Amino acid sequence: MSVNTDRHQTAAARYFEAWNATEPEALRKAVAAAWAPEGSYTDPLADVAGHAQIAAVIAAAHEQFPGFAFRPLGAVDGHHDTARFGWELVNEADGSAPVAGFDVVTIDEEGRIRRVLGFLDRVPAGA
């Protein structure tokens, strides 16, 4: 049973804001707003902690996929200090979405992300 709250929605919205920030200063601020200082991010391709390393992973994704944006897929599902949501990486020019997955996040008392466990469901060959 989901007990989704505004807290879960807000954490997910900040997460997407960070993943869609492309300018270095905007990215730094968005990561600081979304993640707790000791926050971490782990997926099949990365395992990092701290704002600087998280921002570096996001910047690398934008270098690999210029002109793409991260979009939510479906609703945020959450309870207690945990939320999950799907996402896709969308080409803003043609609408294609070659990468998709879902993430499970834990959030702190202030609603900032402590930990992300990411799963990739769709990845193009060679990526």
What's the angle, vertex CA 126, arms to CA 124 and CA 127, rounded to 5? 65
DSSP state of 3: -
pLDDT one-digit tens code per residue, 47-67: 999 999 999 999 999 999 999
For the chain, give the percent of residues with pLDDT over 70: 95
Buried b / exposed e across 92-104, counting CB within 10 Å, b at 16+? eeeeebebbbbbe
Task: Give pTM, 2 decimals.
Answer: 0.93
Counting Cβ atoms within 10 Å, is residue 69 exposed (0-12), middle (13-18) or buried (19+)? middle
Beta-carbon count within 10 A of 51 CB: 20
